[in-house]
Amino acid sequence: MNAQNKHLKRHHDTWVYSRRVPSALAHLYNSSHITFSLKTSSVKVARLKRDKFNGHLANQMQGTISPEREEFKRHLTVAKEYAEGIKDRDSCLTYDDFFPREPIAHAAYREVAYKDTNHVYSYTAKEALQSLLGRKAKLSDDTKQKLKNALDRFLIFMGVNDVALTEVHKKTVVAYIEHLGNEYAHGTIAAHLSRLKSVWVHAFQLGEITLKQSPFEDHDLSLYKKGESQRKQLFSKEQLNKVLNECPESVRPLAKLALFTGARISELCKADVEVVEGVKCLVVQKGKTKSAERYIPLAEQVKDIELPLRLDDKSAGRTFSTFKIDKITSDSTRSFHSLRNHFITAGQRAENLTEFDVAYVAGHKTGTTMSFGHYARHDVKRLKATVDKVASQIEKEWF
């Protein structure tokens, strides 16, 4: 068979998709094979449809909990209805009337009948993640993806599609940390563990597991620290000139906006635009911290930029990073975030500016208890004056 036509068969003049059901999805299908017409006589179209459905299966396999756990849950439903009757010697009900003689069914029966949870079919990591994502509606798409990626990476390390949380032990996590240490630094490892811990804590809060202390916490990560994290440095005057005039056109407005607003790349890519008291402002609805929610008045220097940008911040970040390394410097302390540092540094050096106003514009914690909308709308003209002074200081020092 032509390798390009894998999972494709020709039936008269029409192409048909045909393959065995992946073992991880067997519990979702009633037969051992998946077969259906692709409704095309074109092999090119058939391949495209085949690839699309293969992608759908891949997503299913990534999101599905283990078939053993699914089977256990089915037996558990039966056990909740009949276990007490089976235990009652005066009843005519017997175990064999409802359950096969196999370990999964036996575990489900004993959990209900005798509160015996000493088995490997209990609440799983993927179940906990799915519940967490479903209940925490306010999580950003980026955070949700990071949670999924963290769990996927851990399961790949374990060599399983899913795992009962009670079967995740501290020694396994220690080995996983050593595995991550071959590729990642302290901060990344700590972030992975924090996300996995949040899945565990969610399961505990639901009462699905009884152990509050997760195996993902209280680890010594000092081995993976390569000294103190380096503060992002400013670009030189020549480097900044190159950034503003030579970086790819797709991110050039983004770089200029970062310099004159002090906003983070994710904020700039997603910010809306609103005119408040006659002042054109960027509106940051959500960001890294609670203080990120704010109005940022725009300086004259960025009036030519078409807003909102509506860019993918991950893609834009990669584009800028590639340009910076190729054309500016490979120094990791100088990055897109350095543009934000230019704004903050200019705010510190400019005369007659309050730290409070500069901190608010930059999205740093200000210590105020006033709400985002209240503070911004009543003081937007004062903030505009702050932004204009910072912009003038930027031009004075680096242009």
Euclidean distance between CA atoms 65 and 203, whole angstroms: 15
Task: Tell me: cis bond preceding 308? Omega within 30 of 0 counts.
Answer: yes
Euclidean distance between CA atoms 108 and 175, whole angstroms: 31
Give the pLDDT band of residue 230 (cuts 50, 70, 90).
low
Say whether pLDDT at 6 is over 70: yes
Per CATH, the architecture of 237-398 is what? Orthogonal Bundle (1.10)
Structural tokens at position 136: 């925490």
| Lowest-pLDDT range of 1-5, 217-221, 259-263 | 1-5
Euclidean distance between CA atoms 24 and 70, whole angstroms: 11
Give the pLDDT band of residue 203 (cuts 50, 70, 90).
very high
If we measure between CA atoms, which residue out of 173, 70, 161, 163 comes closest to residue 120?
Answer: 163
Whole-number pLDDT of residue 25: 67
pLDDT (tens digit, 9 = 90+) per residue, 350-372?
988 878 778 888 887 654 433 33
Q: Which amino acid appears at position 118 of this protein?
A: N
Whole-number pLDDT of residue 133: 87
Contact, 293 vs 284, CB < 8 A? yes
Q: Which amino acid appears at position 108 of this protein?
A: A
Q: What is the reported pTM?
A: 0.48
Would you put residue 379 in left (φ > 0), alpha (ψ -120 to 50) or beta? alpha
Give the pLDDT band of residue 287 (cuts 50, 70, 90).
low
Q: Which amino acid appears at position 361 of this protein?
A: V
Over residues 223-251, the mean pLDDT reads 85
Euclidean distance between CA atoms 302 and 393, whole angstroms: 15
Whole-number pLDDT of residue 374: 38
If we measure between CA atoms, which residue out of 11, 55, 12 comes closest to residue 35?
Answer: 11
Helix (H, G, I), strand (E, B) or coil at 247: coil
DSSP state of 28: G
Euclidean distance between CA atoms 230 and 239, whole angstroms: 19
Say whether pLDDT at 388 is over 90: yes
pLDDT (tens digit, 9 = 90+) per residue, 129-180?
988 988 887 888 889 889 999 998 898 888 877 888 988 999 899 989 988 8
C-beta atoms surrounding 385 within 10 Å: 15
**Cα 91 vs. chain centroid, distance in angstroms?**
52
pLDDT (tens digit, 9 = 90+) per residue, 52-110?
888 767 666 655 556 777 788 788 888 888 888 888 888 888 888 898 999 888 888 88
Give the pLDDT band of residue 227 (cuts 50, 70, 90).
low
pLDDT (tens digit, 9 = 90+) per residue, 110-139?
888 888 877 777 888 988 998 898 888 788
pLDDT (tens digit, 9 = 90+) per residue, 241-286?
999 999 999 999 999 999 999 999 999 999 999 998 899 999 988 7
Contact, 392 vs 350, CB < 8 A? yes
Euclidean distance between CA atoms 343 and 393, whole angstroms: 9
- Domain extent listing, the chain: 3-62, 67-114, 125-224, 237-398
Give the pLDDT band of residue 223 (cuts 50, 70, 90).
confident
Phi, psi of 215 (to 5 degrees): -75, -5
Structural tokens at position 212: 């509050």
Structural tokens at position 257: 């906006």
- Between helix 355-362 and helix 372-398 the angle, nearest 10°, is 100
